[in-house]
Structure 1
Amino acid sequence: MKLSAQRPVAACLPASYVLPRLWPKVSLHLPLRDAAPEQVRRTLDSLAALDYPALEVLVVDTHTAEPALWEAAAEHCARLGPQFRFFHLGCTSGDRAGALNFALGEAAPDATLIGVLSAGQVVRASWLRRMVPLFRQPGLGMVQGALAPLDAGEAPVKPADRLLPLDGLPLFRAEALRRAGGWDTGSLCPEAALGLTLMRHGWDSAFEPEPMGRAVPAAAREDWASRRHRRVAGTMAALRQHIGAVLLRRDRSLTATQRGHLLAIGAPALLDALALAGVFASLSCVLLALWDNASLVPTLPLLPILLVLSLAPLPGGEAAASWGTGRAAWQGLLGGRTGRASGHRMEMLLTGLLWAGAVAVVLAKPWGVQETLGWAGLLLVQSLPGLTMLATRARQAEVRHRRPAFRRHAA
Structure 2
Amino acid sequence: MLLFARYFERFRMRGRLFFLALMQLAAGLITWSVTVPFAFYLNPIDWAMLAILFPAQLAILAVLLINGFEFVEVLWHRRWQRHFPLLDALPPERQPFVSIHLACYNEPPEMVIATLDSLAALDYAHFEVLVIDNNTKDEAVWKPVEAHCVELGERFRFFHLAPWPGFKAGALNYGLQQTDARAEVVAVIDADYVVRPDWLSRLCGYFENPKVAVVQCPQAHRDFEHNMFRRMTAWEFDGFFRIGMHHRNERNAIIQHGTMTMVRRSALERDGGWSEWTICEDAELGLRLMHAGYDLVYVDEVMGQGLTPADFTAYKSQRYRWAFGAMQILKARWGWMTQPGPLTPGQRFHFLTGWFSWFADALHLVFTLMALIWTALMLLFPQYFSLPLKLFLIPVLSFFVAKAVLGIWLYRKRVPCSWRDTLMAAIASMGLSHAIARGIWLGLVKRKGEFVRTAKQRRLRDRPSAFASVREELFMVIGLAIAIVGMVLLFGSKYEESKLWVAILVAQSIPYLAALIGAWLAHREGERVG
State the TM bucket, normalised to the shorter chain. Answer: 0.7 to 0.9
Q: Comparing both chains, which one has the higher relative contact order based on Cα–Cα distances under 8 Å and sequence gaps of 6 or more?
A: 2
Q: Does the Cα contact within 8 Å between 1:275 and 1:309 map onto a contact in 2?
A: no
Tell me if 1:129 matches 2:201. yes
SS in 2 for 1:88: strand
Matched with 2:61 is none
SS in 2 for 1:211: coil
Tell me if 1:231 matches 2:303. no
Q: Does the Cα contact within 8 Å between 1:143 and 1:172 map onto a contact in 2?
A: yes
User: CA 1:23–1:374 in structure 2 vs 1: closer, same or farther (change >3 Å)?
Assistant: closer
Q: CA RMSD in A?
A: 3.4
Cα distance, 1:206 vs structure 2: 0.7
Matched with 1:347 is 473
Cα distance, 1:114 vs structure 2: 0.6
Question: For 2:367 and 2:398, how far apart are their aligned partners in 1?
Answer: 9
Structure 1 residue runs without a partner (length 5+): 6-19, 405-411
Tell me if 1:274 matches 2:363. yes
Query: Which one is further off, 186-195 or 111-120?
Result: 186-195
User: CA 1:28–1:389 in structure 2 vs 1: closer, same or farther (change >3 Å)?
Assistant: same
Question: For 1:294 and 1:108, how far apart are their aligned partners in 2?
Answer: 76
Q: Does the Cα contact within 8 Å between 1:271 and 1:309 map onto a contact in 2?
A: no
Tell me if 1:76 matches 2:148. yes
Question: For 2:299 and 2:201, how far apart are their aligned partners in 1?
Answer: 13
Q: Does the Cα contact within 8 Å between 1:274 and 1:309 map onto a contact in 2?
A: no
Q: Does the Cα contact within 8 Å between 2:103 and 2:172 map onto a contact in 1?
A: yes
The aligned runs of 1:2-401 (5 Å cut-off) are 22-146=94-218, 148-151=220-223, 153=225, 155=234, 158=238, 159=241, 161=245, 163-166=254-257, 168-217=259-308, 223-246=314-337, 248-249=338-339, 251-263=340-352, 265-290=354-379, 292=381, 295=384, 299-300=388-389, 302-304=392-394, 306-307=396-397, 314-315=404-405, 316=407, 318-335=429-446, 337-339=448-450, 343-363=469-489, 369-400=495-526
Q: TM-score, normalised by structure 1?
A: 0.82
CA-to-aligned-CA distance 1:217-241 (integer Å, 9 cap, x gap): 4587872221121112212332343
Cα distance, 1:174 vs structure 2: 1.0
Question: For 2:403 and 2:432, how far apart are their aligned partners in 1?
Answer: 10
SS in 1 for 2:355: helix
Cα distance, 1:381 vs structure 2: 2.5
Q: Structure 1 counterpart of 2:216, which letter?
A: Q
Q: Structure 2 counterpart of 1:164, which letter?
A: I
Cα distance, 1:70 vs structure 2: 0.6
SS in 2 for 1:129: coil
Question: For 1:149 and 1:166, how far apart are their aligned partners in 2?
Answer: 15
Q: Structure 2 counterpart of 1:193, which letter?
A: E
Cα distance, 1:29 vs structure 2: 0.5
CA-to-aligned-CA distance 1:322-355 (integer Å, 9 cap, x gap): 2222222233334463457993122111111112
Cα distance, 1:273 vs structure 2: 1.8
Question: For 1:377 and 1:214, how far apart are their aligned partners in 2?
Answer: 41
Q: TM-score, normalised by structure 2?
A: 0.65
Q: Structure 2 counterpart of 1:113, which letter?
A: V
SS in 1 for 2:286: helix
Structure 2 residue runs without a partner (length 5+): 1-79, 84-91, 226-230, 408-425, 455-467
User: CA 1:167–1:109 in structure 2 vs 1: closer, same or farther (change >3 Å)?
Assistant: closer
Question: For 2:82 and 2:276, how far apart are their aligned partners in 1?
Answer: 27
Question: For 2:159 and 2:196, how far apart are their aligned partners in 1?
Answer: 25
Cα distance, 1:119 vs structure 2: 1.0
Question: For 1:95 and 1:102, how far apart are their aligned partners in 2?
Answer: 11
Question: For 1:152 and 1:372, how far apart are their aligned partners in 2?
Answer: 44
Question: For 2:503 and 2:302, how far apart are their aligned partners in 1?
Answer: 46
SS in 2 for 1:142: strand
Cα distance, 1:147 vs structure 2: 5.0
User: CA 1:3–1:89 in structure 2 vs 1: closer, same or farther (change >3 Å)?
Assistant: farther
Q: Does the Cα contact within 8 Å between 2:313 and 2:469 map onto a contact in 1?
A: no
Question: For 1:310 and 1:349, how far apart are their aligned partners in 2?
Answer: 22
Cα distance, 1:364 vs structure 2: 5.0
Question: For 2:296 and 2:383, how far apart are their aligned partners in 1?
Answer: 55
